[in-house]
Structure 1
Amino acid sequence: MGDWQRIAGGVTAAKGYRAAGIAAGLKASGAPDLALIVSDVPAIAAGVFTTNHLCAAPVAYCRQRLQTKGTAQAILCNSGQANAATGEQGWQAVLAQAQMVATALGLSPEMVLVASTGVIGQPIPLEKMRQALPTLTAQLSYEGGDPAARAIMTTDLVPKQIALETLWEGQPIRIGGIAKGSGMIHPQMATMLAFITCDAAVAPHLWQEMLQRACDRSFNQITVDGDTSTNDSVIALANGQSRTPAITEPGAAATRLEEMLTAVCVHLAKAIARDGEGATCLIEVQVSGASDDAAARQVARTIASSMLVKSAIYGRDPNWGRIAAAAGRAGVPFDAANLAISLGGIPMMRHGQPLAFDCAAAHTYLLNQAAANTDSAGQQSIDHPIVIEVSIGNGQGRGVAWGCDLSYDYVKINAEYTT
């Protein structure tokens, strides 16, 4: 862990942020479905969004907003309806949502960002949202991170949040975040949302660059099922309320802040992978020996997303041949004579040759690590992943990817998603 500590609060841990989450009746289940995050002052805003060409109206809106004005003060997110593939009606709904929040908070509409998650093709129930906004804004609180985290969930089983704090020139700097995601998860953004708050003062171009690099090492390194959705968004605000010196150029302060931002993103990404639909365990693929980090990350992603590897892990079957095959089709050239594979520290292949190994011990490792993915209180844990180590050569490139096993329940969940 870096030079920081974990603290409570999620998106409201950083100074000057309030949040709320309520049930607005957008979901038939009656579960919380509307969240709002607000900075006390205008904040520098950065964003990374889906690469799917059929992007949802709120994604198009936020992209446009951040390109023309790199500041924001509020983020509204609904769950239940994706507002994707909804045409002009969807675009007008986003404009209406921004106006509603702006009116309620006394802001300009251009200071409001909007996100949605849920069923594609479902329009936003604007009247229900309009009726719920007074309650939502009344519940804004500096302790409202947890309700907000719960209100953005869809098929998630658990809320996902974290906050970290470090000291810079004797003053605390904090970064907090919440995320949702369980299915339609694949590199290059997936069906996931993440909202990050920071109380440092950062130059806009630096903050955007930091967020992109952090996403490349976290959210773009997770996979559940190979699907990239229409609504994926990571939005990060930095409001300067820590009163620490502004970070305007690369250097020690910028590096430290980016490392902490990356740690927040990695934690949330791993939590998404662990909570994959129907998953029983978290898988971590560590690749070394590549020509550069990008190549190593590509190999790691390919292995983590292999349906055969995921199925073997679900069956607690140490079938390293599937790992080797996935590495070989990753699109990264390497000498097969250099390939090495270990599972949980148990060597299975060296110098491109299979090794005799204790299959029963490897099977027991998979069983034990899968069991450790649920803690003593029955909650999901990301602290004990099943670790696959792969080396493809002698290069300095290293990369990590995270995924989950593929269970029968994944098919059941998605077969019944809209019915």
Structure 2
Amino acid sequence: MKSKEDFKNIMSKIKVPKGFVFSGIHCGLKRKRKDLSLFYSEKECKAAGVFTKNTVKAAPVILCEERLKKGANIHAIIVNSGNANCMTGNQGYKDAVETTRSIAELLDIPEETVLVSSTGVIGKPLNMNVIKKALPELKNNLSATAIVDAAEGIVTTDRFSKISSRAIKIGNKNITILGIAKGAGMIRPDMATMLSYVFTDANISEIAIEKALIKSVDKSFNSISVDGDMSTNDTVIILANGLANNDLISDSGEVFELFVEKLSDVMLELAKLIVVDGEGATKLVEINVSGAKTLQDAKLAAGTISNSLLVKCAIHGADPNWGRIAASLGASGAEFNPEKIEIIMDGVTFFKNGEFTAPSSSKIQKVFKKNKVNIKVNLNNGKYSAVNYTCDISKEYIEINASYTT
């Protein structure tokens, strides 16, 4: 984990939207590191969320989905790390409810305006005693400058926190979008294993904020992979309190598209940071698939390559084994003619016009050597394209996950 000194440069660039305060403390769920965070808006927020598609869902996910489906405005989100509160039966759900009720009483807000998330080990009962004892301190530490503390409080195996922000000027009003995320393992496309929270002071309609979130998630968190596993606790939530006092943003038009663009920028930056921080990862890999017959084909091809353990191992070992990529493409379900595809790795063409191009050994030796790797595949079967981000797989990944519950 990076220290606060490491974050001074980050925080000099981070902008906090009006009306939001944050807190992050150590309550005792983990041995030393912060494990309890609170995000609070002085004004109720319009909210939207996207959650895991895993059939096995953690209790906090179920509760959040229920409250958002009822259309509740949201004041606060409380998050614990170190325990997933998943597969914990009816008691786990009761604990999630009790957590929101307890912090709501301290904040003097309605219980239904509080959302809750958990992340950590599955199957262990949540230690409610240490959480409830820590709530007064959590509340008292709320500050607009405590975003780093809050970001630290939601992590598990992460090596560093993930924070990003963007500013927009609409008319004469300044709007800020701030996002944080955690995630390093159990990451796959179709909602990565992570928690992410986005806060904005934009005045935006309920329909628009939900539409913007879905579009932005598709461009970011649904386009990354570390190990291909789907979590039980995946959560992305956006809160908008409207304190920028801009004209209401509807769900169409130039202003809406500008908002989506900036929101997507924040989320994509967070998504890339998750990949860079992948458990045991040493390289960031960008996979570009073009020339697909349909958008679905492009996504299938890019996603299958990004999830391939053989491709990841080859990248880690700086072994430009283009055959692994070709095999992944063939297993993806995308429609293409193998004789027409083109495979390029770090600018070196390995396969084109139905045959191996036999690049020079000096060029081959440079492939996969850098910390950032680029793989391009042209299916030559249409006009659609997709981009995925992944990382390599190392021995450290196995070591981390072989002893995770300890």
- Please classify the TM superposition score into its range, dividing by the shorter chain length: over 0.9
Q: Is the 8 A contact 2:199 2:238 kept in 1?
A: yes
Matched to 2:19, the amino acid is: G
Residue 295 of structure 1 and its aligned partner are, at CA, apart by 2.4
Note the 1:315-326 alignment, pairs <5 A.
Answer: 315-326=317-328
Q: Is the 8 A contact 2:52 2:232 kept in 1?
A: yes
Distance in 1 between residues matched to 2:362 and 2:87, nearest whole Å: 50
Match of 1:411 in 2: 398
Matched, 1:64 2:66: yes
Residue 55 of structure 1 and its aligned partner are, at CA, apart by 0.3
Residue 297 of structure 1 and its aligned partner are, at CA, apart by 2.0
Tell me whether 230-239 or 289-298 shows the greater mean CA deviation.
289-298
Residue 353 of structure 1 and its aligned partner are, at CA, apart by 2.1
Matched, 1:233 2:235: yes
Q: Is the 8 A contact 1:12 1:143 kept in 2?
A: no
Q: Is the 8 A contact 2:155 2:183 kept in 1?
A: yes
Residue 225 of structure 1 and its aligned partner are, at CA, apart by 1.0
Q: Is the 8 A contact 2:320 2:367 kept in 1?
A: no
Q: 1:409 to 1:387 in 2, by over 3 A?
A: same
Distance in 2 between residues matched to 1:225 and 1:408, nearest whole Å: 13
What per-residue deviation string (whole Å, max 9, x for no partner) do you get for residues 104-158 of structure 1?
1110000000000000012221111111011111111011111111111100011
What per-residue deviation string (whole Å, max 9, x for no partner) do you get for residues 55-114 of structure 1?
000000001111002421101000000000001000000110010110111100000000
Match of 1:133 in 2: 135
Distance in 1 between residues matched to 2:101 and 2:185, nearest whole Å: 31
What per-residue deviation string (whole Å, max 9, x for no partner) do you get for residues 324-359 of structure 1?
111121111112222111111111111332112134
Match of 1:13 in 2: 16
Q: 1:9 to 1:113 in 2, by over 3 A?
A: farther
Tell me whether 292-301 or 240-249 shows the greater mean CA deviation.
292-301
Q: Is the 8 A contact 1:287 1:389 kept in 2?
A: yes
What per-residue deviation string (whole Å, max 9, x for no partner) do you get for residues 155-213 of structure 1?
00111111111211132111111100111111122321000111111111221121112
Q: Is the 8 A contact 1:93 1:126 kept in 2?
A: yes
Matched to 2:84, the amino acid is: A
Match of 1:281 in 2: 283
Distance in 2 between residues matched to 1:352 and 1:20, nearest whole Å: 57
Q: 1:212 to 1:70 in 2, by over 3 A?
A: farther
Residue 238 of structure 1 and its aligned partner are, at CA, apart by 1.1
Residue 365 of structure 1 and its aligned partner are, at CA, apart by 3.8
Residue 11 of structure 1 and its aligned partner are, at CA, apart by 8.6
Match of 1:181 in 2: 183
What per-residue deviation string (whole Å, max 9, x for no partner) do you get for residues 238-287 of structure 1?
11111111112300010000111111111111111111111111111011
Matched, 1:25 2:28: yes
Match of 1:77 among 57, 76, 79: 79
SS at match of 1:165: strand
Q: Is the 8 A contact 2:36 2:153 kept in 1?
A: yes
Q: 1:153 to 1:7 in 2, by over 3 A?
A: closer
Match of 1:386 in 2: 373
Matched to 1:61, the amino acid is: L
Match of 2:383 among 396, 400, 411: 396
Q: Is the 8 A contact 2:185 2:279 kept in 1?
A: yes
Distance in 2 between residues matched to 1:321 and 1:387, nearest whole Å: 16
Distance in 1 between residues matched to 2:172 and 2:346, nearest whole Å: 41
Match of 2:314 among 307, 312, 315: 312
Q: Percent identity?
A: 41
Distance in 1 between residues matched to 2:271 and 2:354, nearest whole Å: 32
Distance in 1 between residues matched to 2:361 and 2:45, nearest whole Å: 54
Matched, 1:200 2:225: no
Distance in 2 between residues matched to 1:363 and 1:207, nearest whole Å: 47
SS at match of 2:119: strand
Tell me whether 62-71 or 41-50 shows the greater mean CA deviation.
62-71
Q: Is the 8 A contact 2:202 2:245 kept in 1?
A: yes
Matched, 1:339 2:341: yes
Distance in 2 between residues matched to 1:396 and 1:41, nearest whole Å: 46
SS at match of 1:234: strand
Q: Is the 8 A contact 1:9 1:176 kept in 2?
A: no
Match of 1:118 among 111, 117, 120: 120
Match of 2:255 in 1: 253
Distance in 2 between residues matched to 1:50 and 1:414, nearest whole Å: 21
TM-score (norm 2): 0.95
Residue 233 of structure 1 and its aligned partner are, at CA, apart by 0.3
Q: Is the 8 A contact 1:10 1:177 kept in 2?
A: no
Q: Which segments of 5 or more consecutive residues in structure 2 lack a partner in the other structure? A: 1-8
SS at match of 1:338: coil
* Deviating 4+ runs (over 6 angstroms): 9-12
Q: 1:203 to 1:70 in 2, by over 3 A?
A: farther
Q: How many residues align?
A: 398
Q: Which segments of 5 or more consecutive residues in structure 1 lack a partner in the other structure? A: 1-5, 371-384
Q: 1:337 to 1:301 in 2, by over 3 A?
A: same
